[in-house]
Amino acid sequence: MYYSAKNLYDSKVDYSSLIDIAQDGRKLIRSIAYVIKAETPDEENFFDALSEIGFQVKKKDLKEFHGGAKKGDWDMGIAIDAIKMSEKIDVAVLVTGDGDFRSLVDHLKSEGIQVEVMSFGKSTAGELVEASDVFLNMDKKKDLYLME
């Protein structure tokens, strides 16, 4: 979401608002922010702010490969966590536009879990929208999700 907000709107996500809207009056079991440590300025302040809002922050180092290629990926970690939690939840809210999560959505739904996806529609894979029970297009009310 960080990069979608930056690239689409030259803005930052209001994560406090995002978590409130995702909760939608339901009992919040857990909210997890998956972050990549890239050793950038104010990175730790950002991670601390997420924690203060109520996110459990899971960190992973940015991998640098021979030749200069860089990679930071949480897809497997997110999927494993969601599957582990699936016995304890009725609703999963995924805040992503990545179509790679289609299989996870299908699996969670097969376990009887309602799956909601929140993301900026302009950067969301169509197969993820189709697979979800509810798609909340953050583009439509972007002022609720972006910082001024």
- The pLDDT, as a whole number, for residue 20 is 95
Of 58, 57, 53, 49, nearest in space to 22 by CA: 53
In which band, very low, low, confident or very high, does the pLDDT at 72 lie, cut at 50, 70 and 90?
A: confident
pLDDT digits (tens, 9 = 90+) for 15-66: 999 999 999 999 999 999 999 998 888 889 999 999 999 999 999 988 887 7
What domain range is 76 assigned to? 2-145
CA distance 43 to 105: 30
Say which CATH number the domain at 60 has.
Answer: 3.40.50.1010
Residues ≥6 apart with Cβ < 8 Å to 49: 15
Whether 103 has a pLDDT exceeding 90, the answer reads: yes
CA distance 138 to 145: 7
Whether 68 has a pLDDT exceeding 80, the answer reads: no
- The pLDDT, as a whole number, for residue 141 is 94
Q: Tokens 């494993």, residue?
A: 80
pTM of the model: 0.91
pLDDT digits (tens, 9 = 90+) for 77-97: 999 999 999 999 999 999 999
Question: Count of CB atoms within 10 A of residue 97's CB?
Answer: 22
The rounded percent of the chain whose pLDDT value lies above 70 is 99
Whether 9 has a pLDDT exceeding 80, the answer reads: yes
Structural domain tally of the chain? 1
Q: Tokens 């995924």, residue?
A: 94
- The pLDDT, as a whole number, for residue 88 is 93
- What DSSP string describes 15-66? HHHHHHHHHTTSPP---EEEEEE---TTHHHHHHHHHHHTPEEEEEEPEE-T
